[in-house]
Amino acid sequence: MLCVANFSRQMQPFELDLSAFEGATPVEMLGYTAFPRISGARYFLSLAGYGFAWFELRGVLPLGAGGAARAR
pLDDT digits (tens, 9 = 90+) for 3-19: 999 999 999 999 999 99
Share of the chain above pLDDT 70, in %: 83
- Which residues, listed in sequence order, are joined to residue 53 by a DSSP beta bridge? 4
Question: What average pLDDT does the chain have?
Answer: 89
Quick check: pTM over 0.75? yes
For the stretch 56-65, contacts whose Cβ atoms lie closer than 8 Å and that sit 24 or more positions apart, written own/partner, are 56/1, 56/26, 56/27, 56/29, 57/1, 57/2, 57/21, 57/24, 57/25, 57/26, 57/27, 58/24, 58/25, 58/26, 58/27, 58/34, 59/23, 59/24, 59/25, 60/21, 60/24
**Mean pLDDT for the stretch of residues 28-33:** 96
Mean pLDDT of 10-37: 96
pLDDT above 90 for 35: yes
